[in-house]
A and B are shown apart, each in its own frame.
Chain A
Amino acid sequence: MNAFMVVLLAALFLPFPAAAETPREKAARILNGIDDMWRGESSHGIMLMRVKTRNYSRNLKMEGWSKGKDRSLVRIVQPLKEKNTATLKSGNDIFTYLPQTDRTIRLTSGMMMGSWMGSHFTNDDLVKESRMLDDYHAEITFEGTRDGMNIMEFTLIPKPESAVVWGKIILTVRDEKIPVTEIFHDEDMNISRTMTFTDLKNFSGRIIPAVLKVVPVDKPDEYTEIVHESLEFDVTLRDELFSLASLRKK
């Protein structure tokens, strides 16, 4: 085989080197990957939520199920006093079941910005399904080593018509896939709240931060921390699980 044939065969059978990825494409790939990190066809997990405010502290153990992007059910397991209090998200609707009064409440638009189960998350945080790139222009503003980690920093600026309250978000990602911090700025570019992702664990073959902590900057003594104890993806779940009857099930 002459040299010409070697080159020809190589050209035919060896893969072409990947076309160079533009910074925009790279940002989109990583951010969409992070959006999909907690998403699967379906999921089931147990988590702890610790909420500390100036007025109270509460620890909740919750069991959650999700199917697709728009259906999820979260039910409190502990403490006993709040056991079976549940939240069902179905499409754009959120329902809350209160076992003490045996009442189911559909959250109105006026309640969407209210606190979810007394935490620093709003009901609206639960409903939002949009990807980061739907609402923000993303730019990689740092790439390199920081604190011994391979870090990539994204600056997300809201698109002019996006209905988001933030002026800017700085998202730090390690190894191109694991979020480390998310810092939310207001329109004057002052920091409003920070979100940190720690304690990497392997859940169903995915390396995911098991602990998520939100701290409002104007109340630094307060926080909400969510700790995933277990998380399974792509489990078989019946559609009936995400019904109002299921929400009220004790």
Chain B
Amino acid sequence: MNGVARHFTMAWRNIMRRKRRTLITAASVASGFLIALTFTGTADWSYTNMIDTSAKMGYGHVTVSPEGYFESPTVEKRIHGSAAIRDAVLRGGGVDDAVIRIFGQGMFATAAKSVGGTLIGIDPAHDSAERNVFINALNEGRLFTGADDPEVVIGKKLAEKLNLRIGKKLVYTSADVNGEIFSGMARVGGIFRTGVDAVDGGVILLPIDRLRHALHYDPQDATLIAVFIGDQRRAPETSGRLAAHLRLQGAEVLPWRQTQAELAGLISIDRAIGVLFQFFVGLLVAAGILDTTLMSVLERKHEFGVMLAVGMAPKNLFLLVLTESFYIGVLGLAIGGLIAIPWYWFMYHTGIDLRGYIPEGYDAGGVPMELALKMRLYWERIAAITAGVFLLTLAAGLYPAWKASRIPPMESIRNI
């Protein structure tokens, strides 16, 4: 047996001498690992959910839009040849879908009342429940089938405010591309309900060609192309690649962080608070490990004194104690990993229902939230947490190891 193997064997035997303490210390490492995994996983699930829902509310994960549109959105700003750009986006690969949409502001009126809101022109041939949160939330009637149908889909709250039902008419007023005011009439074909009052009370979906005509747009003009990708984290890379591939004049390709800045800010703040919280949890876990490891060192003062007296180098004693921490870390992570697998499976598929605790219609920056606590973990996060917890365990072992290496041999032997 060579020196290194002997060193590891000794460290393993040492921690196995006090199995209960080793198990308790490893359990605190495991709990730290599970806490970090749960916090990161639930946060990532909730962020991904919010980002995907927000993308489905209009702009996609990546947006092809007129230059400067998101600084000051107006109907005058539009992209030309939207169908060709969409085809080029899809041909470029690496995206799940691309949907052409028109956005505008207007007033919606019936004999009962008039309220302001957002008009979204969509093409029913390309848009779907999978890509559009409003179609997904349709709970009465149906989506218009033609791009020029005289029908609209409105939010439940808007229907209540304007006293509208399926089949009833609504007059919308807006300004066209020349700034001229126009009015149009449409029948309510469907009613959606996302649960967020601000959304349900102020959005109508119109057939894209009808809105295009009213705005005096050219046949292929649109406000933007919403691009969808499978993993929102690839948005910056995808937008850069698409910008290089499309080489558009007067248009830009932006990731969701730039088109949905409010949501991005909200997530950044929440993530920073989460990291800070996890740091403090980590400190507590580390203090627990430090405490038990230091205790085990002080208990073995005499033993270490003898080892040093018979010629063991202090450096080797330092490494021996550190190796014990290494084993505790590995053991703790193994236990944590074993518990994490069924825990993650449950939290990913079922989760915890929060409907009894959070009022319906809860939203973050206008984005409807799913009232459940679920987890989603990415491999790089698992790797970072594993490495973080492991390094923390090693760091907690540094002081006891240093302390062990500094034990004066003679004094330790004398004070039996």
> Interface of A with B (CB < 8 Å)?
92-93, 108-110, 112-113, 122, 124, 127, 161-167, 184-187, 192, 218
Contacts and interface: CB of A to CB of B under 8 A. Distances in A.
Contact of A186 (B110, B116, B174, B185): B110
Contact of A110 (B106, B112, B180): B106
A26 to B, nearest CB: 28
Contacts of A112: 107, 173, 181
Given A92-B180, A92-B181, A163-B183, A109 B173 contact: yes
Contact of A127 (B110, B174, B179, B181): B181
Given A92-B180, A161-B185, A113 B107 contact: yes
B111 A167 contact: yes
7 contacts: A93-B181, A110-B105, A110-B107, A110-B174, A112-B173, A161-B150, A166-B111
- Measured as residues with beta carbon below 8 angstroms from the partner, the interface class of chain B is 20 to 34
Contacts of A122: 114
Nearest to A185: B111
- The interface residues of chain A, by DSSP majority, are classed as loop
Interface string B107-138: 10111101010000000000000000000000
B111 A109 contact: no
A167 to B, nearest CB: 7
Contacts of A110: 105-107, 116, 174
Interface of B: 105-107, 109-112, 114, 116, 150, 163, 168-169, 171-175, 179-185
A212 B173 CA distance: 26
A156 to B, nearest CB: 14
A14 B392 CA distance: 116
Contacts of A163: 171-173, 183-185
A248 B169 CA distance: 39
A79 to B, nearest CB: 28
B111 A184 contact: yes
Nearest to A113: B114
A178 B106 CA distance: 36
B173 A186 contact: no
B173 A124 contact: yes
A108 B114 CA distance: 15
Nearest to B184: A163
B115 to A, nearest CB: 8
A108 B112 CA distance: 21
Contact of B111 (A92, A108, A124, A192): A192
